[in-house]
Structure 1
Amino acid sequence: MKTGTDTENCVVRRRASRPRADALRNRERIVTAALEMFVEFGPDVPLDEVARRAGVGNATLYRNFPDRAALTHEVVLSVTSRTTNRAEEAVAAESDPFAALSRFVHAAADERIGALCPMLSGSFDQNHPELLAERDRLEQAVEGLVERAMTAGRLRTDIAVGDVLVALSQLTRPLPGIACLDIDRFTHRHLQLFLDGLETPARSVLPGSAATLEDLRRGPDARPTTT
């Protein structure tokens, strides 16, 4: 039989095992601030500046993320997860498959998916199971968008899902340290130009071959697969 003291101890342990709401908010603020500063200044921005942007003390930041690798891991995971969610929302919101693809591309830009590229060169475990699972989830979602638009005859057939991901990454990649700090205002304009080039009928013959997911995974020195 549990005594009153035993019951009180159980309650204390349960409370200790669940993060408090304010602790969760602090963690989210740190991740948001880190992403903003990685975009603006690159992935090597001082962590105390991240803490200042988040409105928390250094001790709070390091309590949540003991080092830069841990923080970068969480930022990459957060961006990837939210971008996948945007793909799923686009499918639910648009009956036209090409409109769904377009909606996703613009939404992914707002999630700052291009900021992942500089971060992925950092010293953290890119092959962490959690990150790999979220990457696979994103790739499957985008692959589904591309396949549906192509099957509907709305998307040119000489491209592959890798072309979409590469272009999206390049057109939304931050340029830290440049004088034109408001360059983001051109992002959606240039993405729309890219999307117009994806629609059928194709207005040109593309050089080279379509970029597949396998091409992207094999690294920058790999030759594209042939069809």
Structure 2
Amino acid sequence: MQTVGGRTSVEPGHPRRADALRNRERLLVAARETFAEEGPDASLNEIARRAGVGPGTLYRHFPTRRALQSAVLADRIDRLRERADELAATSPAEALTAWLHAFLAHARSDHGLTGSLLSEPLEPGFDCHEIIRKAATLVLTRAQQAGAARPDVSADDLIRLVVGIALSAGPDADPGQAARLLDLVLEAVRTSPALE
């Protein structure tokens, strides 16, 4: 097994044990919750405790704080990408609205995690900014092709607007305010009342 950017890749012929996979997933869930509550400097011992494992198990899966942070962020980015794909089954207008709300929730729950990792890529071939841009492009292009979104809006425009909302209506602010600000952005992007 090799650990790269917090993700453990299994060498061919060496499947991971089911209990090791469960422990890794429990650690990611506990880390996601703990970082969201306490920020990127949260106690690793507290994360292990919440996951129901010892510190040694945490360090076997994630040898450094950065490896754990990278794995949590990569998992969150993967979920955003998967959400964009899942929304392809809904109307393009609904997909754009739902994905932007999911992206806003992601950006608001960051609590400094992304900033603490910006100095280096998470892992080779994993560019979180590019993955988010592609997901945003997917939902926006579908909405534009359906005539539900202005053709002069770019995915980068939407990403910057949503990040701006997340920063201005910080994690401790009224979540209703962030949603209202996003609704204003969506009003500006709409070409028809269908984008609700």
TM-score by length of 2: 0.75
Equivalences for residues 171-210 of structure 1 within 5 A: 171-172=165-166, 175=170, 178=172, 183-184=174-175, 187-200=178-191
Say whether 1:139 aligns with 2:138: no
Aligned residue among 142, 149, 174 for 1:148: 142
Could you say which residue in structure 2 is the equivalent of 1:11?
none
CA distance in 2, matches of 1:78, 1:113: 14
- Superposition deviation, residue 154 in structure 1: 1.7
Distance of aligned partners of 1:184 and 1:61 in 2 relative to their CA distance in 1, 3 Å threshold: farther
- Superposition deviation, residue 191 in structure 1: 3.0
Aligned partner of 1:98: which letter?
A: A
Equivalences for residues 90-105 of structure 1 within 5 A: 90-91=87-88, 93-95=89-91, 97-105=92-100
Could you say which residue in structure 2 is the equivalent of 1:219?
none
| 2:80–2:132 contact (8 Å) kept in structure 1 | yes
| 1:120–1:126 contact (8 Å) kept in structure 2 | no
Q: Which runs of 5+ in 2 are unaligned?
A: 1-12
Aligned partner of 1:27: which letter?
A: R
| 1:101–1:145 contact (8 Å) kept in structure 2 | yes
Q: Which runs of 5+ in 1 are unaligned?
A: 1-13, 202-227
**Residues 116-150 of structure 1: CA deviation (Å, up to 9, x unaligned):** 57222225632632422x54343223212212222
Distance of aligned partners of 1:33 and 1:22 in 2 relative to their CA distance in 1, 3 Å threshold: same
How many residues align structurally? 179
Equivalences for residues 35-46 of structure 1 within 5 A: 35-46=32-43
CA RMSD of superposed structures (Å): 2.9
- Superposition deviation, residue 156 in structure 1: 2.5
Say whether 1:119 aligns with 2:113: yes
| 2:144–2:151 contact (8 Å) kept in structure 1 | yes
Aligned partner of 1:94: which letter?
A: T
| 2:30–2:47 contact (8 Å) kept in structure 1 | yes
| 1:117–1:169 contact (8 Å) kept in structure 2 | no
**Residues 166-210 of structure 1: CA deviation (Å, up to 9, x unaligned):** 23334446946x5x6xx4465545433432332126xxxxxxxxx
| 1:156–1:199 contact (8 Å) kept in structure 2 | yes
Distance of aligned partners of 1:145 and 1:26 in 2 relative to their CA distance in 1, 3 Å threshold: same
| 1:90–1:100 contact (8 Å) kept in structure 2 | yes
Could you say which residue in structure 1 is the equivalent of 2:25?
28
Aligned residue among 55, 65, 68 for 1:71: 68
- Bigger radius of gyration, 1 or 2? 1
How many percent of aligned residue pairs carry the same amino acid?
A: 35
